[in-house]
Amino acid sequence: MEGNDYSGLKEKANIIRQHVIQMTAEAGSGHPGGSLSVVDILTALYFQVMMVRPEDPRWPDRDRFVLSKGHAAPALYATLAERGYFPVDELKTLRKLGGRLQGHPDMGKVPGVEASTGSLGQGLSMAVGMALAGRLDGRGFRVFALLGDGEIQEGQVWEAAMAASHYGLDNLVAFLDYNGLQIDGPVSSVMAPEPVREKWEAFGWHVVEIDGHDIGQILGAVETSLKQKGCPSMVVAHTTKGKGVSFMENEVDWHGKAPDREQAEKALRELRAL
């Protein structure tokens, strides 16, 4: 990329969104809404920020990524496949018996998956452990985590937040997928998290708020966060559930419902026209 030309990353994100639609439609189940909302963040991290070796997934000095909101596995799988961890053709096996790509990530089976997640609220604790281990081992890798806004209703998240600050883990950057919806409805109605920024700051974190679909803002937030010394960073990414598909955007019904064939074809037409 040159200057502020993020066209390559935007094109890659669009391809990943198409994979999400195709995968969930083929499986007949899954979580398209929250997968589509995190695609731009994953694209920026895996194709611009993170130091990884897809041909050597266990390289000791690799950067780590933890998808705490594990139900967004389709987005992670599609990103890993496009990055070269496994064949893109394997994406069609999502949620199929005997396949590696199950409904939530399995670090024991899928190359590139750093943590088995899906029990909400646990991923940040894993990321804190990785970041602390990296420091103790004298390694320079960075750890990135992605949480859902409904997920931060879990108490364990705040225990992890306190620990990360206590140990001054400036090699840890977390993202909050703040799309405003969870399976039971608006996050503000289920268990209001506001004021989000002030809460993370009160726990000793450096906080940046961005448009979670703006590649430039995502990269800028990472750059700023990695310059912080003595504290972890939280990027509050304001996103749209179902981003890129008109009839899915901001519709809570698409949290955990797969599109049928007709709906998938309509969604793919829209994405290919972008």
pLDDT digits (tens, 9 = 90+) for 142-193: 999 999 999 999 999 999 999 999 999 999 999 999 999 999 999 999 999 9
- Can you count the helices (H) and strands (E) in the chain? 10, 7
The residue ranges of every structural domain in the chain are: 7-272
DSSP 48: I
Burial label, 108 (beta-carbon count in 10 A; 0-12, 13-18, 19+): exposed
Residue 47 has pLDDT above 70, yes or no: yes
C-alpha–C-alpha distance, residues 274 and 261, integer Å: 20
Query: Is residue 129 within 8 Å of 50, Cβ to Cβ?
Result: no
Cα dist from 262 to 93, 171, 254, 268, whole Å:
20, 45, 15, 10
Looking up tokens 């600050």, which residue turns up?
165
Matching CATH number, 7-272, of 3.40.50.970, 3.40.50.720, 2.30.42.10, 3.30.590.10 = 3.40.50.970
**Rounded to 5 degrees, what are φ and ψ at 12?**
-65, -40
Instruction: Give 4's pLDDT tier (boundaries 50, 70, 90).
Output: confident
C-alpha–C-alpha distance, residues 115 and 54, integer Å: 16
Residue-wise pLDDT for 191-243, tens only, equals: 999 999 999 999 999 999 999 999 999 999 999 999 999 999 999 999 999 99
Residue-wise pLDDT for 20-39, tens only, equals: 999 999 999 999 999 999 99
